[in-house]
Amino acid sequence: MTWAEFQIRLFAYKRIDLYKWQMLREMMWTTYIAPHQDPKKMVKRKEIFLPLNNDKKDIPSVSKDHKDNFIKAFQKWQQEIN
């Protein structure tokens, strides 16, 4: 098997594996949103519930400014306690 053929087979394997994980996530999500759950405590999107490799760009993240503001407020709070 040549390197190019290996790369083609690897690409196909990853695509099939990702499809299987997506199907599993759909089944898990259907079970997760069952009517006996409290909707206020549940995750709103299935991409956050079970992130896959191609979903990482869709997950919202906190900006650097927000992180810095939180760290400053936390340090100020720690100084007030001590």
- At 81 the pLDDT is 83
Q: Which of 79, 22, 29, 69 is nearest to 49 (CA)?
A: 29
CA distance 22 to 11: 16
- At 60 the pLDDT is 64
- At 9 the pLDDT is 95
* Number of domains forming the structure of the chain: 1
DSSP classification of residue 44: S
In this prediction, residues 17-36 reach a mean pLDDT of 89
- At 70 the pLDDT is 87
The whole-model pTM stands at 0.60
Expressed as residue numbers, the domain containing 35 is: 3-81
Per-residue pLDDT tens for 40-78? 888 888 887 888 877 666 556 778 888 888 889 999 988
